[in-house]
Structure 1
Amino acid sequence: MMEIGKQYGPLVLEVDIEEAGYEPGRPRIHNIHFNVSAGELLGLIGPNGAGKSTTIKTVMGLLKDAKAEVKIAGNPPRYAYVPEQPVYYDDLTLWEHLDLAAAAFGLDDDYFEKQATRLLQQFGMEHVRDGLPGGFSKGMKQKMMLMIGFLSEPDIYIVDEPFIGLDPRATKDFLTLLDQERQRGAGILMSTHVLDTAEKICDSFVLISGGRVTTKGNLEDIRSAAGLSGASLFDCFDALI
């Protein structure tokens, strides 16, 4: 949870969305504006169908019917995207997926070997290093997506529903890595339904409902908007939605 007076670094993500959608003339989201600073974890929260995934797709530049300006730090921009649904090649092993990602990120061999080995150990996946992900459980596939995202140590992480399918140990490992990356100076945009965890780890929030921002800010700002002093994020969410 956000520390009072906590100082952040420069902006690593600036999002100004006028409107965006999947078909011309039928926008799904409107007037969504927020920034993420170095070292900040911003939670994107809202009910199903609120527009969280559409917002993330717009940030990623995946929607052609979008009127938006998105600025990502770095030249070239250095970011990692961890999708909600695992994406993988049936004929590549876990290690080969990591190797392919390293090539795409332009990592040198020594750095890749060190990072990949550390992540395999961190997530307890050494035993399936040479396994095909088609035979993995949902949680193991999600771990693979997280490892690929953490591989390059980017300036900004864009993470969509990371806790789905993760067991308690994997969740703890993921949160530990997030904290390490924030200490390093990375910013994180995370969409999640897991409000009790979001309340504990997020510095700030953007609450979306009906394709628009309902409120944003730190937990005290959300409580003020809901008129619920000292309430949990879950109770504020319920009141505001």
Structure 2
Amino acid sequence: MALAIKHLVGGYSQIPVLKDISFEVQPGELVGLIGLNGAGKSTTINHIIGLLTPMKGSIELNGQTLAANPQAYKAQIAYIPETPILYEELTLKEHLEMTMLAYGLDQTQAWKRAHELLKIFRLDNKLSWFPANFSKGMKQKVMIVCAFLTNAKLFIIDEPFLGLDPLAVHDLLALIKEVKAQGAGVLMSTHVLDTAEKACDRFVLLHSGEVQTQGTFAEIRAAYPDAGASLNDIYLALTGVTRDE
């Protein structure tokens, strides 16, 4: 399996945000991590990428753990944060070069891939631009290009649809489908449930730091037949939210 989280307890202080959560991301699948604000989605992601240390439990990525082999563990991950993080003093070209160096990529093959991605996201004539020249959506596209430039085994994508135009959303979903076919696992946190319902293979619904339910959409709908027909209806029902709230 790509990612295995077992009995994870963790958070930012002595009081845990995550309370014994367990789930997996298999190679070649897209798992949607959904939940209300404060449910623990970002905390989960921060534990996976190594910004937080578990209080209890384990996180394993293709047989590697962060504690045992940090370099081998982190080399398998490509992360796209909700808010783009770029270096103001570096051009787009230099961001790509830094990514290639960080992941030890072959320059010839990496630049071939980079030009393909730049063309897809309409950034191919902006290699000399600095982040100050980019809109929020364009900065997000830079993060996407840098992530999919790698040969990561696990892609972690946090709220990718909020700053993207419809064409870029289509292009991102196509890239996710491409890396899935190559055997990578993808964990995506999102509130855009209509898109997630169509794109994700499985879902993990967090609520108050616990896994409320998980499985395919068909499995979740079968388990909660009275919750509604759509993922959005089921989500609202399981989190105790009514349409009038």
1:22 counterpart residue number: 12
Q: What is the one-letter code of the residue matched to 2:6?
A: D
- Does the Cα contact within 8 Å between 1:226 and 1:239 map onto a contact in 2? no
Provide closer, same or farther for how the CA distance between residues 38 and 69 of structure 1 changes in structure 2, counting only shifts above 3 A: same
Gaps of 5+ in 1: 1-10
Question: Whole-Å Cα distance in 2 between the matches of residues 51 and 202 of structure 1?
Answer: 19
Tell me the amino acid that sits aligned with residue 180 of structure 1. Answer: E
Q: Offset at 1:130? A: 1.1
Question: For residues 76-225 of structure 1, what are the structure 2 equivalents within 5 Å?
Answer: 76-77=72-73, 78-225=76-223
**Residue 12 in 1 paired to residue 10 in 2?**
no
Please state whether the residue corresponding to 1:222 is helix, strand or coil.
helix
Q: 1:214 Cα shift? A: 0.5
| Distance in 1, Cα, partners of 2:114 & 2:214 | 36
Q: Which residue of 2 aligns with 1:8?
A: none
Cα deviation, 1:9-53, whole Å, max 9, x if unaligned, reads xx1111124311111x21111111111111111000001111100
Would the aligned equivalents of 1:58 and 1:66 in 2 still touch at CA under 8 Å? no
The equivalent residue for 1:52 is: 41
- Over 3 Å counting, the alpha-carbon distance change for 1:54 and 1:94 in structure 2 is same
| Percent pairwise identity | 47
TM-score where L is the length of structure 1:
0.91
What code does the residue aligned with 1:31 have? Answer: D
Return the alpha-carbon distance in structure 2 between the equivalents of residues 100 and 106 of structure 1: 10
Q: Secondary structure at the residue paired with 2:37? A: coil
Aligned-partner Cα distance in 2 for 1:18–1:149: 26
Gaps spanning 5+ residues in structure 2: where?
65-71, 240-245
* Contact 2:4 2:23 (8 Å CA) reproduced: yes
CA distance in 1, matches of 2:192, 2:52: 26
- Pair 1:61 & 2:50 matched: yes
Runs of 4+ in structure 1 displaced over 4 angstroms?
A: none
Counterpart contact for 1:22–1:65, Cα < 8 Å = no
Cα distance in 1 between the residues matched to 2:63 and 2:133: 37
- Measured on the aligned residues, the alpha-carbon RMSD in Å equals 1.5
Contact 1:44–1:52 (CA under 8 A) maintained in structure 2: yes
* Structure (1 or 2) with the greater strand fraction: 1
